[in-house]
Amino acid sequence: MSHLLRAFPAFLRVSIQAMLQYRGEILLWCMWGIVNPTVLYVMWSAATRGAPDGKIAGLDQNGFAVYYFFLLIVGHLTAAWDVYNMSYLVRKGQLSPLLLRPILPMWESLSSNLAYKITTLMFAAPMWLVFILITQPSFQTQWWQAGLGMIALLLGAALNYMLCYTVALVAFWTTKLDAVGEIYFGLGMLLGGRMAPVDALPPYLQIASEFLPFKWMFAFPVEVLAGMRDDVHAVTRGLLIQAAWVMLVVLVFRISWHLAVKRYSAVSG
C-alpha cells in the first residue's frame, strides 16, 4: 500500500504530461461527450411538444435541459474506456512490461483516466457553460441534493471504471474485444439514463435497468444532482446500493484478474 501511495502521484504526473502531448486528439474525444447529450436534449425537448401535457416522465422542456446539463458533467466525469484498449495492449504485448511492475497495471490505467478528466476540463467546462447560456435552465437543486449528488457521482465513476476494467479482462481470452466494448457502451446508453431518463423508458427496458448496474453509474447521480429525488432516505438507500455494486464488482475483478494473469501469454513476446 505504501509503495502504491508513492507511485500513484508519479503515474498521474506522467499521464497528465502524455495527455497534454496529445491534446488535439483528446479534445475530439471529449467533443463526442458533448455532441451526443446535446443532440438527445434537443430531441427530447422537441418530443415534449408532441406529448399530451407537454411533459415526458415528469420532465418538461426545462426539466430536460437540467437533466442533460448534469448528464454532460456526469458523463464526462464517469467516463471509462479500458474495454476498448485492453485488447490492443494484450495483442501488442504492451501489457507485459506493465505486469512486471510490482503494482497492478490497473493503477496506471486509472491514472490516465484521471489525467484525461483533469486535462479536458479546460475544454469541457466552457462547453457546459455554453449549454447553460443557450438552454437557460432554471435549477431546483437543494444543498443536500448537491452534496449527496457529488458522492453519487464519485460512486458512479468508481462503478463504471471498475466494471469497464473487469469486462476488459475478456481480452485475455479473446483478442476480439470491439464487440464487447460496443455492447458495454450500448447498454450504458440505453439502460443508464443517457439515451432517455430511466422513467421514460418502455417497461421492458426499465425492468432490465433494475437488474443491471448501469443506471447507478449515470442516471442516479444525474437525478440527485438535478433535484429530481426529494426523499433523503431513498437517496441514501441509492448510495448504499451503489456502494454494494462497487464492492461486488471489485470482488469479481479480484477473482477474474487472478485467472486472467494465469492465462496471459502475450502475442508478441
Partner 1 sequence: MLLFARISVQNFAAYRADFFLRGIMSLVQLAAELIVVDTIFHNTETLAGWRLPHMLVLVGVYRMVAGGIRIYIVPNMRRVLEDIREGTLDFVLLKPVNSQLLVSIREFVFWRITDLIYGGTAAAIGASMLAKDIGATQIATFVFMLAAGFAIIYSVWLALATIGFWFIRVQNIEMVFWNVFEAGRFPVMIYPYWVQWSLTFLVPLAFITTFPAGTLLADPATGVPAAAPYYAAGIAVVSVLLSSWFWRFGLKHYSGASA
Cell 458523463 belongs to which residue?
Answer: 75
Do the beta carbons of residue 43 and residue 68 sit within 8 Å?
A: no
If one asks whether residue 56 binds partner 1 (CB under 8 A), the answer comes out as yes
DSSP state of 171: G
**DSSP-derived secondary structure for 52-92:** TTS-BTTB-HHHHHHHHHHHHHHHHHT---HHHHHHHHHHT
If one asks whether residue 57 binds partner 1 (CB under 8 A), the answer comes out as yes
Q: Cα separation of 22 and 160, whole Å? A: 24
Q: How far is the CB of 224 from partner 1 (least distance, A)?
A: 22
Q: Cα separation of 195 and 37, whole Å? A: 8
If one asks whether residue 133 binds partner 1 (CB under 8 A), the answer comes out as no
Q: How far is the CB of 63 from partner 1 (least distance, A)?
A: 13
Q: Which of residues 28-47 bind partner 1 (CB under 8 A)?
A: 28-29, 31-32, 35-36, 39, 42-43, 46-47
Torsion angle defined by CA atoms of residues 153, 186, 196 and 113, in that order, rounded to the nearest 10 degrees: 20
**Which CB sits closer to partner 1, 96 or 175?**
175
Which among 27-35, 65-73, 146-154, 243-251 is the span making contact with partner 1, rule CB under 8 A?
27-35
Q: Select the residue interacting with partner 1 from 6, 102, 136, 202 (CB under 8 A).
A: 202
Which among 108-116, 181-189, 221-229, 235-243 is the span making contact with partner 1, rule CB under 8 A?
181-189
Q: Select the residue interacting with partner 1 from 20, 122, 130, 183 (CB under 8 A).
A: 183
- C-alpha cell at position 93: 504485448
**Which CB sits closer to partner 1, 175 or 256?**
175
Q: How far is the CB of 86 from partner 1 (least distance, A)?
A: 18
φ, ψ of residue 199 in degrees (nearest 5): -65, -20
Q: Cα separation of 200 and 32, whole Å? A: 23
Of 81, 111, 80, 108, give the one whose Cα is nearest residue 94. Answer: 108
Binding residues for partner 1, rule: CB under 8 A, are 24-25, 28-29, 31-32, 35-36, 39, 42-43, 46-52, 56-57, 176, 179, 182-183, 186, 189-190, 195-196, 200-202, 205
